[in-house]
Structure 1
Amino acid sequence: MSRRSKDALEDCQRALSLDPSSLKALLRGAKCNFVLGNLSEADRLYTRVSSVEPNLQENSEYKQLRQVQNYIFQAETYLENAQYGLAINAIDRAVSPLEVIPNKLKIMKGEALLGQKEYAEATRIANEVLRGDPRNSDAHVLRARILYIEGDNKKSIAHCQEALRFEPDHSSARVLRKKAQQIEDQKNAGNDAFSRGDYFVACGLYTSALEVDPTNTITNSKIYSNRALVLMKQGKYADAVKDMDKALELDPTFIKVLRRRADAYLKLERYQDAVNDLRAAMDLDSSNREIRRELQNAERELKRASRKDYYKILGVPRDASEIEIKKAYRKLALQHHPDKNCGDSDAEIKFKEIGEAYAILGDPMKKQRYDSGVDLDGMNGGMNFDSVDPNLFFQMFMNENFASAGGGSGGFRTHTYHFG
């Protein structure tokens, strides 16, 4: 009655050693074992009483034991059917009258928490059992399962080996160790192939690792990330994005993959998608300066993409020289000049775009601003190409270049115009 159940149990055991048929000692011993979590021993003692006491079924403490056993049976059924919330509820009901919670029930609750992806609490329970009983194979397997799901295969294998050292026939430990070792071997081989630049082999090894256990979400997310990097190295950006989609589907908080997918989006010129990924990464790690810098760059690229690509209009690379830009403009302007394309509205539009592109790229200051993405508004220096005659602009260009070549005006008046 003073809740010193261990001492009480010792007294009951001494009483039974003096009088093995004492019903009071048997009943009190059963109760002590019950509250101490020794449920099978409590059941054994109640069974001895029932052989001489037909009214045992009316005993409230015996009913309580049967109720606890029923809750445990329910919890086991719920675990088998992956109904983890119901399993936890049944276990909590089972342990409520107990002073000491049996390790079996602790481990069952840890398994249910693992099923609910509450890894920290499941780890706490496994470690608690192992501190009190370092030889508990089931606790070692529970810890191994958590580590396996978290992607730490080496430690998972170590705990499986400990479980098998204490219980060589532990089938769960044996199966888990085999899977963890297979994934670790394939992943490490893939990493080695990647390091030496053998991307084809690396891709195959990562694919094999993914096939070992499709249910291992976190580990597979990392492997998809690794394979995506291989595809990036091969220039297969669209395929890399597909792998990173799968990685993030398995682990939406995988910041490295968000950044890597943003890089692939930039290469695919999907600038808004890149910005979205980097903003999501910033939400997860707002103090990361590298992510902030990458986001600013992606936003700048998005802003650039929202305007016309003057390099593409002139058909020159971004590192084109001033002379190359002039030559490109002259060639295209002559080709699309309205005098040569009478009545062709498409040529007229193209002629205007070519003049607009040269007005920017042909001016070193405007070109520098255009390239940097700064001051995008009013880039034409106040010149509105919808209201200016592009033919006049072309004539200005031809006169300036003819004069600079020392050819004189040739009947044309040479003008020098500065727009803006």
Structure 2
Amino acid sequence: MEVRLRRAELRKVDLELKLANSFEKVELARRALEEARAIHEMYKVEFEDAQKEFEEQQELVYEELERREEEAKALQMASMQAAAIKRADECRQRADAAFKRGDIGEAEQLYSHAIAELEVSGITLVDPSHLWLRINRATALFALGHVRESLSECELVLKVDSNHIRALSRAAKCCLNLEELERAERYIEFISLSPAADSADLKDALSQKSTLIRAFVERDKVAGNEAFRDDDFHTAARLYSSALDSLDSMYLSDVAKVKVGLLSNRVAALMMLGNPLQAAEDCCAALKIDKAHLKAQVRLARCLLQLGQFDEARQEASDILSNGVSTAEQQVDAQQVIDDVDRTQELVNDSAEQLWQIEDNGDESVDAHSVLRVLDEAKVFAPHSTMIKTFRAEGLRFIGEIAAAAILVKDAPIQDVRGLCVRARIAFELANVSDCLDSLKPLIPALDLYAGRDASHCVTFEEVLTPDEVLKQIPNPASLLQILEQVCQINELKERGKEAFGDANYDKAISLYTEALGLCKNSDTLQALFLSNICACEQATERYVDALASAGAACALAPKYAKAHARLAAIYTELDMVSDAQQTYEALLIMGLSEDERVKVESYLMTITGRVNAETPVNWRKLLGVGPKPSKDVLKKKYRQLALNHHPDKASRGCASATLAKARVVVSSKLFNLISEAYNILNNDNAVIKWENARVRAQYKSSRPCNESPTYARAPFGDSNEFYSRY
């Protein structure tokens, strides 16, 4: 057993020795492998460096080969280009010689061949001598009539040198020949601004500009004539004006005749466009240049007739008739002008006399409609006569077409006495107090003279007429004096009422407006105006029934008075009388509103329509002017007071005019029914409960508190006491 143990130990030692020997061999092998790997990496790096060096050397060889090849090609190209330049120069010399001989075709071919020689050899034509080849070819092409090709050659030069004077000059000449006038103008402008241009170049550019202007004038003149023949008179007038502007841009000594012809042509176009004033100015300008231009003088006479300057028109036509050099056609035209002047003056004078009789005497035998028909006949001859406009406005006023009459005399000149009278009367009827005063102001000395007051403080009317001469031109001065006195009083009361309103002194404002109302019994519109202002005061003091009465009477007196309807709609809205408010806003939309006013009314109408759909009931408490929970006694007292004031049998008492009394009666019937309905509902507890429930339901539907004052409850046209500018 021990022997075996001993052997095992020896065996173990032997194995350990063998294992240790194996570890040494493995370590030696590992080291040898690492050394081999290091040597491999070293050789690999050396190989890569060698390969890179080889590639670099190879690249250098290739570059050197390419360089030598390029040098060879460059030498070959230089030799070829030198030969091409020599051949091109020979062609140029031969072309110059041919051009001098007058053989333009051969010269153009040689110049073209020279250019082709250079381009085929790869030479870019940027050298000045090469550019001159193109300029010379362009000159030859232009002489041969190939203008478009000539222009192309010039443009190629300008791409290289945009300031090349000869190229610019030749291009401008080509564009003039091709009637491309705007391009020609640009090239000529470049020459004028170029620092390289000498005096000869500038002189040539000036000559070309003169030619250009003549071309512009001729082009616009021909186009204007074509437009005139096509009845496009706006375009014709514009083209004639363009031609005249071109003539005025540069002094040309030999264009007076052309300018006179253009002015005469523009006169014809302007007369067809209904602009005799400017046409007359053109006639005068033409006659200033050529006093013997009888065609312009005939047209001047016709323009003066259209403007209503009858004496001047007759004088011009008479001068033509007495001129020994006028043609038979011009004599006929001049005589026709005189005949038209006589006929027009006869019609106007007869109409003026008849209208005077209507105004001064109230002559009912004179038919204003027939007078207007006569004036329409006169208007055919003198459509722009201020006198005819004045008489037509007077006639329209007599037949009740006040708005149309106001348009005719809105710009009546201060020298037109009759026009100022008509304008003042119309403004008074339209309740335009300020315009009425402005129209009467120049007539005050004459009216003072008529009233027996001292008029020496203003001796003349516009430094032309004395007050006595002005008075002779005023029909029915008594009524005009009455209007002046009324308007002065009305204007003073209006301003004082406006001031009181601004100070929140509403009772005083109502008193002043009521006093003014009493002075307006001859003008329904003025009564409507002051009723509307009284309504504003009553609305401000929450006297809604009184405000409804005033606004309703104003609308009845003046159905087309937008301010009164706006006031009425605002009160209806504030009282939740939504159906009435809707109808009133719809009526406003068909009246003459401005664009801003229309937008506002449409917005209010949209809002009120939503409340109509929500079935909003009337605010009866606000209508009667009582609190949220009035006692029976308070309710009865308020009812009796309002019913007494607005009973139909008493509504007409104390009215300033019969028309106002009638309007009050019509409005009071509706108001009396409203007051009674309000009292019946508020005096019945069950009815009050149903009414309040209905308001809550409407509030829910419209999403607006029923006791809230809406932001649109006031009149839509600004401050409640301001007069509209158009009234």
TM-score (norm 2): 0.33
Cα separation, partners in 2 of 1:183 and 1:12, compared to 1, 3 Å: farther
Cα separation, partners in 2 of 1:110 and 1:256, compared to 1, 3 Å: closer
Tell me which structure has the larger Cα radius of gyration.
2
Q: How far 1:263 sits from its partner (Å)?
A: 4.3
Cα separation, partners in 2 of 1:286 and 1:127, compared to 1, 3 Å: closer
Determine the C-alpha separation between the residues in 1 that align with 2:695 and 2:510.
41
The one of 587, 591, 596 equivalent to 1:280 is 587
Correspondence for 2:432: 152
Determine the C-alpha separation between the residues in 1 that align with 2:613 and 2:573.
11
User: Are 1:186 and 1:208, in contact at CA under 8 Å, matched by a contact in 2?
Assistant: yes
The one of 701, 708, 711 equivalent to 1:374 is 701
Q: How far 1:226 sits from its partner (Å)?
A: 0.5
Cα separation, partners in 2 of 1:125 and 1:305, compared to 1, 3 Å: closer
For the pair 1:207 / 2:490, whether they are aligned, the reply is no
Cα separation, partners in 2 of 1:298 and 1:260, compared to 1, 3 Å: farther
Cα separation, partners in 2 of 1:77 and 1:273, compared to 1, 3 Å: same
User: Are 2:344 and 2:378, in contact at CA under 8 Å, matched by a contact in 1?
Assistant: no
Determine the C-alpha separation between the residues in 2 that align with 1:219 and 1:10.
53
For the pair 1:86 / 2:413, whether they are aligned, the reply is no
Structure 1 unpaired stretches of 5+: 15-27, 40-64, 310-315, 319-349, 362-366, 377-420
Cα separation, partners in 2 of 1:108 and 1:374, compared to 1, 3 Å: same
Determine the C-alpha separation between the residues in 2 that align with 1:230 and 1:254.
19
The RMSD of aligned alpha carbons is 4.7
Letter in 2 for 1:209: A
Cα separation, partners in 2 of 1:129 and 1:244, compared to 1, 3 Å: closer
User: Are 2:368 and 2:399, in contact at CA under 8 Å, matched by a contact in 1?
Assistant: yes
Correspondence for 1:53: none
User: Are 2:534 and 2:550, in contact at CA under 8 Å, matched by a contact in 1?
Assistant: yes
Cα shift readout 1:189-243 (whole Å, capped 9, x = no counterpart): 1111222222222112111111223232333322111111222233332222221
Cα shift readout 1:70-116 (whole Å, capped 9, x = no counterpart): 565555555644854333123334566x5688755442212112344
Correspondence for 1:111: 394
Determine the C-alpha separation between the residues in 1 that align with 2:628 and 2:387.
70
User: Are 2:423 and 2:439, in contact at CA under 8 Å, matched by a contact in 1?
Assistant: yes
How many residues align? The count is: 286
**Structure 2 counterparts to residues 241-256 of structure 1, below 5 A:** 241-256=548-563
Structure 2 unpaired stretches of 5+: 1-294, 302-313, 324-333, 445-459, 472-476, 592-596, 621-626, 630-683, 704-727
Cα separation, partners in 2 of 1:265 and 1:99, compared to 1, 3 Å: closer
Correspondence for 1:328: none
The secondary structure found in structure 2 opposite 1:214 is coil
For the pair 1:216 / 2:216, whether they are aligned, the reply is no
Correspondence for 1:137: 417
The secondary structure found in structure 1 opposite 2:701 is coil
Cα separation, partners in 2 of 1:264 and 1:155, compared to 1, 3 Å: closer
Cα separation, partners in 2 of 1:127 and 1:281, compared to 1, 3 Å: closer
Correspondence for 1:412: none
For the pair 1:236 / 2:543, whether they are aligned, the reply is yes
The secondary structure found in structure 2 opposite 1:114 is helix
Cα shift readout 1:283-337 (whole Å, capped 9, x = no counterpart): 656632541355146526744469xx9xxxxxx969xxxxxxxxxxxxxxxxxxx
User: Are 2:615 and 2:698, in contact at CA under 8 Å, matched by a contact in 1?
Assistant: no
Letter in 1 for 2:397: L
For the pair 1:168 / 2:467, whether they are aligned, the reply is yes
Correspondence for 2:49: none
The one of 597, 608, 614 equivalent to 1:295 is 608
Letter in 1 for 2:443: A
TM-score (norm 1): 0.53
Farther-moved stretch of structure 1 (367-376 vs 206-215) = 367-376
Cα separation, partners in 2 of 1:109 and 1:204, compared to 1, 3 Å: same
Cα separation, partners in 2 of 1:302 and 1:276, compared to 1, 3 Å: farther
Determine the C-alpha separation between the residues in 2 that align with 1:9 and 1:158.
40
For the pair 1:122 / 2:405, whether they are aligned, the reply is yes
For the pair 1:6 / 2:315, whether they are aligned, the reply is yes
Q: How far 1:368 sits from its partner (Å)?
A: 11
Determine the C-alpha separation between the residues in 2 that align with 1:213 and 1:265.
27
Cα separation, partners in 2 of 1:294 and 1:106, compared to 1, 3 Å: same
The secondary structure found in structure 2 opposite 1:151 is coil
The secondary structure found in structure 1 opposite 2:467 is coil
Cα separation, partners in 2 of 1:278 and 1:235, compared to 1, 3 Å: same
User: Are 1:163 and 1:173, in contact at CA under 8 Å, matched by a contact in 2?
Assistant: no
Cα separation, partners in 2 of 1:92 and 1:72, compared to 1, 3 Å: farther
